[in-house]
């Protein structure tokens, strides 16, 4: 059977999954991630779910095409509502906004109770998702920035600990990127600096001194992370 490659975004999600884990891929679309994981013997089984029936029909075709029907279960589900907690060890939620990902996690109390490991790839509102995880006693384990089709994304894993994790002021904008920093991380952090500088233009107009100086502090800390790793000399990855 001919293999296929995942894009950088999904490949990073695949890299974060524990070998041998049973996974649920929420918003699976055409089920390429679980199919790749099974075909490469990283996992033995998966649940592939999506809210919409059309992508699930395409997913079913792909399962037959790659001969993995016995390993992957297709489920039409709104988030995690129809996922059996006992069928999964780890949950992948990729390709959605951070606020929607937060809502999906929040709607399934068993994720906390069973301490399921999460692999998350938001396409927007990453800061909001990091804050949600912290405030709901999830701990970020890993985070990596990745360039895919000309756009920078972040992938991170998290697990519920039941303990409030104290974070630094820059946490919503940086997460744990500093632990696996690369050229793409630096580009992502520079974008965060630009966003904060744009926020401060508004803070000056509104004479919001508290937020203005808070942002200045965050910018200074992000610049230090970049400079500590020689980031000013990095060229963007292609």
- φ/ψ of 154, rounded to 5, equals -120, 145
CATH number at residue 29: 3.40.50.150
Mean pLDDT of 36-60: 96
Asked whether residue 151 falls in the same domain as residue 192, the answer is no
Asked whether residue 150 falls in the same domain as residue 34, the answer is yes
Q: How far apart are the first and last CA of the chain?
A: 30
Q: Which of 218 and 236 is assigned the larger pLDDT?
A: 218
Q: Looking at the domain assignment, is residue 208 inside a domain?
A: yes
Mean pLDDT of 203-225: 96
Mean pLDDT of 54-58: 96
Asked whether residue 160 falls in the same domain as residue 188, the answer is no
Provide DSSP, 131-161.
HHHHHTTEEEEEEEEEEETTEEEEEEEEEE-
The pLDDT, as a whole number, for residue 166 is 92
**What is the reported pTM?**
0.93
Residue 237 binned pLDDT confidence (cut-offs 50, 70, 90): very low
The pLDDT, as a whole number, for residue 58 is 96
Average pLDDT of the residues of the chain = 94
CB 128 within 8 A of CB 98: yes
Q: Looking at the domain assignment, is residue 104 inside a domain?
A: yes
The pLDDT, as a whole number, for residue 78 is 96
- Whether residue 235 is predicted with pLDDT greater than 50 in this model: the reply is no
Residue 234 binned pLDDT confidence (cut-offs 50, 70, 90): very low
- φ/ψ of 233, rounded to 5, equals -100, 0
Return the ∠ at Cα 76 (arms to 74 and 82), rounded to 5°: 100
Largest CA-CA distance found in the chain, in angstroms, rounded: 63
- φ/ψ of 92, rounded to 5, equals -105, 125
């Amino acid at each position: 059977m001919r293999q296929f490659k995942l894009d950088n975004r999904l490949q990073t999600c695949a890299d974060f999954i524990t070998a041998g884990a049973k996974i649920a891929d929420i918003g699976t679309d055409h089920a390429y991630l679980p199919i790749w994981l099974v075909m490469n013997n990283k996992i033995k089984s998966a649940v592939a779910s999506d809210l919409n029936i059309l992508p699930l029909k395409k997913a079913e075709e792909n399962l037959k095409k790659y001969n993995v029907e016995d390993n992957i279960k297709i489920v039409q589900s709104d988030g995690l509502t129809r996922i059996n907690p006992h069928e999964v060890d780890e949950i992948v939620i990729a390709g959605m906004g951070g606020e929607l990902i937060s809502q999906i996690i929040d709607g399934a109390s068993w994720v906390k109770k069973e301490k399921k490991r999460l692999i998350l790839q938001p396409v927007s509102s990453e800061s909001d998702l990091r804050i949600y995880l912290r405030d709901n006693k999830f701990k970020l384990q890993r985070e990596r920035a990745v360039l895919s089709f000309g756009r920078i994304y972040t992938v991170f894993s998290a697990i519920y600990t039941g303990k409030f994790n104290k974070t630094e002021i820059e946490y919503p904008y940086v997460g744990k990127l500093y632990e696996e920093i690369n050229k793409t991380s630096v580009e992502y952090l520079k974008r965060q600096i630009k966003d904060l500088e744009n926020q401060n233009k508004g803070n000056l107009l509104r004479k919001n001194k508290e937020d203005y100086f808070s942002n200045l502090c965050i910018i200074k800390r992000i610049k230090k992370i970049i400079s500590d790793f020689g980031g000013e000399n990095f060229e963007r990855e292609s």
